[in-house]
A and B are shown apart, each in its own frame.
Chain A
């Protein structure tokens, strides 16, 4: 690991100030991706600004039809939260499938969302549930947030404060996990609110995306069979040593069907 300056921020305002002042600063949340990246010398920030102990960035609350999870809330907290289990049980399932128990004790929703790993679980949840990302500057709709491989709409120095999830009538999340890493080769969050259906996919493409054709079919008939013959074009998907684009395209349909079944269970 290259050396860096370490600064612990006590508030969002202080974190924003520190990141602005740094030459090439990086925000440290739970560190479950950033620290391994630094250890492999794949990044060399001048400063790490630790936001992991900012109290105003932690907590889960429900207000009306919205579940709000603040950025430094850990996967363990989301997985075990009675509020999340009641409001959006599929999101508790999603958080409980990230990494392993020790990783879930450190990793955060804000860190995972900002990192935008193509195979991370939260992006499917955010896109599939139509969440809104609140930052220290603005609110960003899920559909505008994930813009590419590890790329988001976040500007330099912009911090995620919270993720707001509209509470659906039904939702289901399922992933086809890579056996060694646990990352999603394909993961799908399906949600239904009134006649509106959203299908959010992670793991298959460079960033999380929706499948409008499946959404339209599910809006008419919310059953796994309704989407059995809908195939996502393979030419837009990732191909690597773990799975070809064609295989991932096949998985999108299979996992979406299972996610619908999970939502109905």
Chain B
């Protein structure tokens, strides 16, 4: 067993884990935070994305021991403590960027990462950047619109509303 500690959503957490424990298992099973999903478990679908030292990574493909000493943010860490959604979460709701919701935590974490790195990304760039996130429901249209609107909201503070006609 290895003793590890890291910051998750601003709080210091620690635990004893086997070296083979994945970061996503540590988050879900040791910390009991089940917002981060395991989809494919083969680092392809992106449902398990978290922010690791400020960047989107697939938490099913990092060992918890590797993350010792790191700063992790999960989907639970995006909204404000009073429940106010992060602008990207609000955009996913407004633009219907989900159906079943299984891929959504990973999609939102990657969307925030895209918005930070490429604040003015056009639609083609957003689609390319979402290459590592698979959604089997939506056909991606709503997700792409949400990422672009959420990105704008993160910069301006105002979420452009969807034309619901």
The chain A residues found within 8 Å of chain B, CB to CB, are 1-6, 8, 28, 31-32, 35-36, 38-39, 48, 50, 52, 76, 99-103, 105-106, 182
Contact = CB atoms under 8 A, between A and B. Distances in A.
B55 A6 contact: no
Contacts of B114: 101
A5 B20 CA distance: 9
24 contacts: A3-B19, A4-B19, A5-B19, A6-B2, A6-B19, A6-B65, A31-B66, A32-B61, A35-B43, A35-B63, A36-B43, A39-B41, A50-B65, A50-B66, A52-B66, A100-B131, A100-B132, A101-B110, A101-B113, A101-B114, A102-B113, A103-B58, A106-B57, A106-B62
Size range of the interface on B? 20 to 34
A1 B55 CA distance: 26
A3 B20 contact: yes
B46 interface: yes
Contact of B20 (A36, A38, A105): A38
Contacts of A39: 41-42
A99 B46 CA distance: 12
A63 to B, nearest CB: 28
Interface in B28-83: 41-43, 46, 49, 52, 55-58, 61-63, 65-66, 68
A3 B41 contact: no
B18 interface: yes
Contacts, number: 71
A4 B3 CA distance: 15
Contacts of A2: 20
A100 B18 CA distance: 28
Given A3-B19, A3-B20, A182 B66 contact: no
What is the interface of chain B mostly: helix, strand, loop, or mixed?
Answer: mixed
Contact of A32 (B43, B65, B66, B129): B43
A182 B42 CA distance: 14
Question: Which among B61, B110, B132 has the greatest number of chain A C-beta atoms within 10 A?
Answer: B61
Contacts of A182: 131
Contacts of A1: 20
Contacts of A6: 2, 19, 63, 65
Contact of B63 (A5, A31, A36, A76): A31
Interface string B99-116: 000000000001001100
Contacts of A48: 19, 63
B42 A102 contact: no
A28 B65 CA distance: 12
Contacts of A32: 43, 61
B132 A105 contact: no
B46 A100 contact: yes
A36 B42 contact: yes
Interface string B117-144: 0000000000001011100000000000
